[in-house]
Structure 1
Amino acid sequence: MDRQVLLVFVALVGAVPLARVLGDRLDDAAFQAWSTVFLAVVVQSIPFLVLGVVLSGLISALLSERMVARVLPRNPVLAVPVAGFAGIALPTCECAAVPVAGGLARRGVPPAVALTFLLAAPAVNPAVIVSTAVAFQGRTDMVLARFIASMLLAVIIGWIYVLLQRRVPALPMPRIGGRGHGHDAETRSARFLAAAWHDLLPAAGFLVVGAMIAAAINVLVPIEVVDAVADRWFLAIVALAAFAFLVALCSEADAFIAVSLTAFSDTAKLVFLVVGPAMDIKLAAMEAGQFGRRFAAVFVPLVVVTATLVASIVGWVLL
């Protein structure tokens, strides 16, 4: 943790001479556009990240392995869909889900179950469902398709990690603090602070890195380039999957962008709505920092490809 604090300090100190070197270039229109998008991504994500860190700390402090064992089925295959539907009850953005999944894993939840919750919570919670219904003017088919595709994605990924747990990189989750008795108020508060601090700096740092990259993509890739492939169904699906990954929108606002992509088919829009909350460049950076690059190197492409396939099939059936 001391190394992370030192890196943040060096970055802040280094920003001062960098700003002097850039000088008038900071007034360039492209940089202004980049900074606007960067700040928008960070500002809309930080509250949810803080919420996730707080929830993660509470989980680590209050949730015991015995309690987890009582709530979840012992069979991970059955626990995975339970975790998926548990995402309905927690209206968190994808930034919050990363530390929450970490907190669950620290309290004894199987990694596959924690990953299922990580994918389900940002996509099937009531806030996302309502925003999708509002954006698409009450189109129940689009709302239902998004819910089903997102839930299927979360459960499928969970089952993949159950079945192939020895063939894929494990979810590295060191426990925070001692086990103790868990009933002393001081011990619980210490565990809460330790877990929250453990999650905050890595998640916030990689959130900023991901937001910087997402803002650069927003500025450098014109929307006209994306629209040019809208008439070809395969290219349209691939383009909107890549677009969702790169622009890093909040899951509670992405439906309003999707509905504006009028040149694309409903299936391509559904792919955009399913891929984005499950995995974007900001999340990829956060997960690499939180869970390790080896884990992210497998998990990120697996989620993107599976989300694209599942959304395409659900869209073909329901839309």
Structure 2
Amino acid sequence: MPNTTYKSTMQIMVFICIILSFLLLKDFDFFASYFTIEHLQTFKTIFISILLEAMPFILLGVLMSSFLQTFVSERAIQRFIPKKPLLGILFACLLGILFPMCECGMIPVVRRLILKGMPVYIAVVFIITGPIINPIVFAATFMAFRNHPTLAYSRMGLALLVAIIIGLILYRFVKNNPLRNSRTSFATLSDLESHQHAGGISSKLNTFFVHASNEFFDMGKYLVFGSLLTAIIQVYIQRESLLAIGQGPISSHVFMMGFAYVLSLCSTSDAFVASSFQTSFTSGSLLTFLVFGPMLDFKSTLMLLAVFKSRFVMILIILISTTVLACSLLWERLLT
């Protein structure tokens, strides 16, 4: 695990150096025109705001992950999981209501749950619905769209529909463990559990804090890198030139999916961003933004790649993108 962490960190540093080298090799006037005081100030504000918004949820997630690691046995997890796939999917949606977190905090929890015996399809449904189907997000969406409250209900309903479809597909076709280094992780997990049984409460508390710190830095580096690139994109993207797409029957949905992916907003605040586009975009495309963004964005993609194998993440990206687009277009047709 330390070698993997070192390798991924070095890859990130090399990528950043390549970007900076490319910019420095450009004409200085071109470079200076893009890196004005205003641009740098905006970049700093966006970068820090993304970090401050997501960091508490990552901390909450790793603490919950450490609690599961230390105090909850594999047998207890397996006893509460329904055997039938549809009930398992609904159970995962219920977990989102009981544990309202964004995807930043859920991903480390889900890794631990899978190692403890939770089926992959239930774990993935928990990741994609938890940031949407919870009371905090519903309240925020309802407040943001006070003049159009049906969007808040539609957001919950569409997220549930997408989760059921994706969950059933994963149940049917994904049979292998998609976790990175699952053998090493499982061996480490078994060793830790054996050590916990041998020790007392002080040993368990020590394991809890050691695991929490390791998990926090493991997930944190992907959050920092994702926040960095997200801030760069937000500073230099020309929003005004793209608003003409907002009224297209399909292009508006595709654009808002890409917009949500790039912005990487927390699900508790994205509704207020979406509400500012009510006069420019269709209600259906806004709904696409509200459902797709919490399920998949740039920041969460990097964190998923830290937990799951690349092939599985690509399958997940295709599944989420196509299912959200198809369901939101159908939802818009039925409501208009």
Could you state the TM-score of these two structures normalised by the residue count of structure 1? 0.87
Superposed displacement of residue 314, structure 1: 2.5
Superposed displacement of residue 302, structure 1: 2.1
Indicate the residue corresponding to 1:82 in structure 2: 91
Q: Contact 1:203–1:290 (CA<8 Å) still a contact in 2? A: no
Q: Tell me, in whole angstroms, the C-alpha distance in 2 between the residues paired with 1:294 and 1:78.
A: 27
Within the alignment, does 1:52 sit opposite 2:61 as a pair?
Answer: yes
- Per mean C-alpha deviation after superposition, the further-off stretch among 304-313 and 262-271 is 304-313
Opposite residue 285 of structure 1, the aligned amino acid is L
- Per mean C-alpha deviation after superposition, the further-off stretch among 129-138 and 308-317 is 308-317
Superposed CA deviations along residues 82-138 of structure 1, whole A, max 9, x for unmatched, are 112221111111211111111211211111111111111111111100000000016
Opposite residue 240 of structure 1, the aligned amino acid is M
SS at match of 1:122: coil
Superposed displacement of residue 65, structure 1: 1.9
The 3 A distance-change label for structure 1 pair 48 and 276 is same
The 3 A distance-change label for structure 1 pair 193 and 36 is same
Gaps of 5+ in 2: 25-30
Indicate the residue corresponding to 1:273 in structure 2: 290
Within the alignment, does 1:73 sit opposite 2:82 as a pair?
Answer: yes
Q: Tell me, in whole angstroms, the C-alpha distance in 2 between the residues paired with 1:308 and 1:199.
A: 33
1:230-269 matches, within 5 Å, as 230-261=246-277, 262-269=279-286
SS at match of 2:82: coil
Which of residues 126, 133, 141 in structure 2 aligns to 1:117? 126
- Per mean C-alpha deviation after superposition, the further-off stretch among 125-134 and 55-64 is 55-64
1:123-142 matches, within 5 Å, as 123-137=132-146, 139-142=148-151
- Per mean C-alpha deviation after superposition, the further-off stretch among 35-44 and 289-298 is 289-298
Q: Tell me, in whole angstroms, the C-alpha distance in 1 between the residues paired with 2:320 and 2:116.
A: 24
Q: Tell me, in whole angstroms, the C-alpha distance in 2 between the residues paired with 1:93 and 1:241.
A: 18
Q: How many residues are aligned here?
A: 312
Q: Contact 1:202–1:290 (CA<8 Å) still a contact in 2? A: no
Superposed displacement of residue 29, structure 1: 2.7
Superposed displacement of residue 171, structure 1: 3.5
Q: Contact 2:155–2:287 (CA<8 Å) still a contact in 1? A: yes
Could you state the TM-score of these two structures normalised by the residue count of structure 2? 0.83
SS at match of 1:59: helix
Indicate the residue corresponding to 1:180 in structure 2: 194
Superposed CA deviations along residues 62-98 of structure 1, whole A, max 9, x for unmatched, are 2212212221112344312211222111111121111
Which of residues 81, 90, 100 in structure 1 aligns to 2:109? 100
Indicate the residue corresponding to 1:220 in structure 2: 236
Q: Tell me, in whole angstroms, the C-alpha distance in 2 between the residues paired with 1:110 and 1:124.
A: 20
Superposed CA deviations along residues 185-237 of structure 1, whole A, max 9, x for unmatched, are 24533442354244222211111111112112212212213311112121111
Q: Tell me, in whole angstroms, the C-alpha distance in 2 between the residues paired with 1:161 and 1:236.
A: 28
- Per mean C-alpha deviation after superposition, the further-off stretch among 186-195 and 151-160 is 186-195
Q: Percent identity?
A: 28
- Per mean C-alpha deviation after superposition, the further-off stretch among 239-248 and 62-71 is 62-71
Indicate the residue corresponding to 1:291 in structure 2: 308
Opposite residue 95 of structure 2, the aligned amino acid is A
Opposite residue 57 of structure 1, the aligned amino acid is S
Q: Contact 2:74–2:116 (CA<8 Å) still a contact in 1? A: yes
Indicate the residue corresponding to 2:28 in structure 1: none
Indicate the residue corresponding to 1:312 in structure 2: 329
The 3 A distance-change label for structure 1 pair 157 and 196 is farther
- Per mean C-alpha deviation after superposition, the further-off stretch among 253-262 and 193-202 is 193-202
Q: Contact 1:119–1:154 (CA<8 Å) still a contact in 2? A: yes
Opposite residue 315 of structure 1, the aligned amino acid is E
Q: Contact 1:240–1:271 (CA<8 Å) still a contact in 2? A: yes
Q: Tell me, in whole angstroms, the C-alpha distance in 1 between the residues paired with 2:330 and 2:215.
A: 36
SS at match of 1:233: coil
The 3 A distance-change label for structure 1 pair 90 and 34 is same
Which of residues 171, 174, 184 in structure 2 aligns to 1:165? 174
Q: Tell me, in whole angstroms, the C-alpha distance in 1 between the residues paired with 2:40 and 2:149.
A: 40
Q: Contact 1:169–1:294 (CA<8 Å) still a contact in 2? A: no
Superposed CA deviations along residues 9-49 of structure 1, whole A, max 9, x for unmatched, are x96xx99xx8xx98x96654323322221111111111111
